[in-house]
């Protein structure tokens, strides 16, 4: 395990974070299912977290890890609200897509 960690430099982690972010952005732009869109946003947030942790390690600073903690808290709140909206729409129309959010109007 330590041999593999010695071979990976911070640039590898940054490239992985950029790749994961691009995959999430592509999925967010191309998919119409609200649940898949929510998962793509979470994927993008995790890519940003990986980048913050990498820079915190490179700079030998803890502030990047503190930011990751706050991003995770906001992501958890976003999942709760997002899943609530998705369940509310899915109960009214099981075949709903992202354009059907206007169903939530009274």
Q: Per-residue pLDDT for 6 more than 80? A: no
Q: What is the pLDDT of residue 4?
A: 59
pLDDT confidence bin for 3, thresholds 50/70/90: low
Q: Per-residue pLDDT for 1 more than 80? A: no
Q: Per-residue pLDDT for 72 more than 90? A: yes
Q: What is the pLDDT of residue 11?
A: 92
Mean pLDDT of the chain: 86
Please tell me the pTM assigned to this model.
Answer: 0.81
**In this predicted model, what pLDDT tens digit does every residue of 28-57 receive, in sequence order?**
999 888 888 889 999 999 999 999 999 999
Closest by CA to 37, choosing from 104, 100, 102, 97, is 97
Stronger pLDDT, 25 or 64, i.e. the higher one: 25
Tokens standing for residue 62? 């803890």
Least confident of 23-27, 31-35, 36-40, 72-76: 31-35
- Identify the structural domains of the chain with CATH numbers, from first to last: 2-104 (1.10.287.3510)
SS (H, E, C) the chain: CHHHHHHCCHHHHHHHHHHHHHHHHHHHHHCCCHHHHHHHHHHHHHHHHHHHHHHHHHHCCCHHHHHHHHHHHHHHHHHHHHHHHHHHHHHHCCCCCHHHHHHHCC
């Amino acid at each position: 395990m330590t041999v593999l960690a010695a071979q990976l430099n911070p640039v590898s982690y940054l490239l992985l974070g950029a790749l994961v972010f691009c995959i999430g952005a592509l999925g967010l732009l191309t998919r119409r299912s609200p649940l898949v869109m929510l998962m793509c946003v979470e994927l993008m947030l995790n890519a940003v977290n990986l980048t913050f942790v990498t820079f915190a390690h490179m700079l030998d600073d803890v502030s990047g890890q503190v930011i990751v903690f706050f991003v995770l808290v906001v992501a958890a709140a976003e999942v709760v609200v997002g899943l609530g909206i998705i369940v509310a729409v899915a109960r009214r129309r099981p075949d709903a897509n992202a354009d059907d959010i206007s169903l939530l109007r009274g």
